[in-house]
Amino acid sequence: MKPAPFEYYCPETLDEAVSLLEQHGDDGKVLAGGQSFMPLMSLRLARPSVIVDLNRVSGLDGIAANGDGGLAIGALTRQRALERDAELPARNPLLAAAVPLIGHFQIRNRGTVGGSLVHADPAAELPAVTVALGADFVLTSAGGERVVSAADFYLGYMATAIEANEVLTEIRVPAWKAGRLWAIDEVSRRKGDFAMVGVALWADMDGANCADACITLFGVGGEPVRVEKAEQRLKGAALDDATLKEVERIVSEELEPDSDIHASALYRREVGGVLTRRALRAAAERGTEGNGA
């Protein structure tokens, strides 16, 4: 369990980093927190010939308010920094609730927001939450920046829209809507493990009825899975038992997960529906209290 030989660079500026990536093309690989990447290298499942370590690049971390009331999160922000941000629960309670579910605190101390998003483990929380929140990713290369939505970023099993010469530099999260209901829930074999099934969702209400909703599941496919059919069913409906039961059925029917050693496809379909129902109920019961409204 020792990595294969590689060249190592630790640039101190973003310009330097992207020009190294430009230079090395497909041979280059970015190292951020290393919580998934280093084990893959040690197992020689990943054998990059060039490592560009971002950890000494300044200006890539931090959580800031952006102009429209949303958040601009530096990609190198440690997950633990997000977790400890006192403002976050008010600014974006769904994101704040997702972070403690990532691994264990030792992992979050080192793991970065951008690293988790680009690694794109289909069972990870952050990719699903950014999809649910309609976040945008800023990808920077020597040629400049481009912005890709989280929904367009994920292309299938551990595949994303990022190019070999690009670095994810910032995550832009739209403003949290006042009064929004939300929940995140997951089932894992042990606390801190990748989820067998998880759901991140929100619902905007118009009186007693749902005006808009987003239901995103993780651990049930190659990438975060939005179940638009279930979202449609919610729109205009009250979050009552009958609706929730039907949403559960729709989610179970719509999911097309795979089996692995921890859970069968059938289990994931069933429990995906169950968790969605439970999360919606929890969201409704919690109401708008402490919702950043």
Partner 1 sequence: MAETYIGAPIKRREDVRFITGTGTYVDDIKLPHMVHAAILRSPHAHARIRDIDTSRAEALPGVVSVFTLKDIGELDATVPIRMYKIPGLDKYLQPSLARDEVRYVGEPVAVAVAESRYLAEDALDAIDVDYEVLQEVMDVREAMEDKVLVHEHNGTNLAGVHHVSIGDADKAFAEADYTRREEFRVHRFTGNPMETRGIVAHFDRGKGELRVYGATKLPHLNRQTIAAFLQLPEHKCHFEENDVGGGFGIRGELYPEDFLIPFASVRLGLPVKWIEDRREHLLAANHSRQVTCELEIAARKDGTLLAIRAQIYGDMGAYVRTHGGLVPCSTGALLTGPYRIPNYQAKIHCVMTNKTGLGTLRAPGRVESCFYRERMLDMMARDLDLDPVELRRKNLVTPEEIPYEIGFTRPSAHPTILDSGDYASALRQALERFEYDEMKGIRGLQEDGRYHGVGLSYFVKNTGGLEPYEGARMVVGEGGGVSVFLSIAQLGQGHETAMAQICADALGVTMDAISVFHGNTDLSPFGWGTFASRGTVMAGNAVHLTALQLKDKILEAAARHLDVDASGLTLEDGNIVQPGTEAPALPLGELVAHMRESITPEQGVPELEATAYYNSNNITHTYGVHLAHVAVDPETGVLEVLKYLVVEDVGRVVNPLMVRGQTVGAAVQGIGGVVLEELVYGESGQLLTTTFLDYLLPTSTDVPPIDDLVLEEAPSPYNPLGVKGAGEGGIVGTAGALGNAVSNALGIEVKDLPLSPDRVRAWIRARGDG
Task: Compute the distance between CA of residue 272 and CA of residue 286 in angstroms, rounded to an integer.
Answer: 21
For the segment 163-192, give every residue that binds partner 1 (CB under 8 A): 187, 189-192
Task: Compute the distance between CA of residue 161 and CA of residue 37 in angstroms, rounded to an integer.
Answer: 18
Number of residues that make up the chain: 293
Q: What is the dihedral of CA 71, 72, 78, 80, to 10 degrees?
A: -10
- Closest separation in Å from C-beta 238 to partner 1: 22
> Coil, strand, or helix at residue 214?
strand
- Closest separation in Å from C-beta 207 to partner 1: 29
Nearer to partner 1, 42 or 232 (CB): 42
Nearer to partner 1, 4 or 90 (CB): 4
Q: Taking CB under 8 A as the rule, does residue 263 contact partner 1? A: yes
Which string of x and - marks every residue 25-44 that binds partner 1 (by CB under 8 A)?
--------------x---xx
Scored b (16 or more CB within 10 A) or e, 133-161 reads: bebbbbbbbeeeeeebebbebbeeeeebe
Nearer to partner 1, 70 or 198 (CB): 198
Task: Compute the distance between CA of residue 139 and CA of residue 115 in angstroms, rounded to an integer.
Answer: 13
Scored b (16 or more CB within 10 A) or e, 88-117 reads: beebbbbbbbbbbbbbeeebbebbbbbbbb
Q: Taking CB under 8 A as the rule, does residue 293 contact partner 1? A: no
List all residues 6 or more positions away from 167 whose beta carbon is below 8 Å from its beta carbon: 14, 17, 18, 21, 30, 54, 75, 139, 140, 141
- Closest separation in Å from C-beta 125 to partner 1: 16
Q: Taking CB under 8 A as the rule, does residue 193 contact partner 1? A: yes
How many C-beta atoms surround the C-beta of residue 59 within 10 A?
A: 10
Q: Taking CB under 8 A as the rule, does residue 5 contact partner 1? A: yes
- Closest separation in Å from C-beta 44 to partner 1: 8
Q: Rule CB under 8 A: choose which of 142, 267, 284, 288 binds partner 1.
A: 267
Nearer to partner 1, 2 or 144 (CB): 2
Half-sphere exposure of 237 (CA within 13 A, CB side): 17
Considering CB under 8 A, how many residues would be counted as binding partner 1? 25
Nearer to partner 1, 186 or 254 (CB): 186
Q: Taking CB under 8 A as the rule, does residue 146 contact partner 1? A: no
Nearer to partner 1, 228 or 258 (CB): 258
Task: Compute the distance between CA of residue 123 and CA of residue 259 in angstroms, rounded to an integer.
Answer: 13
First to last CA, the chain: 49
Q: Taking CB under 8 A as the rule, does residue 3 contact partner 1? A: yes
Residue span binding partner 1 (CB under 8 A) among the ranges 16-24, 212-220, 227-235, 263-271 = 263-271
Q: Taking CB under 8 A as the rule, does residue 8 contact partner 1? A: no
Q: Which residues bind partner 1 (CB under 8 A)?
A: 1-5, 39, 43-44, 187, 189-194, 196, 261-264, 267, 270-271, 274-275
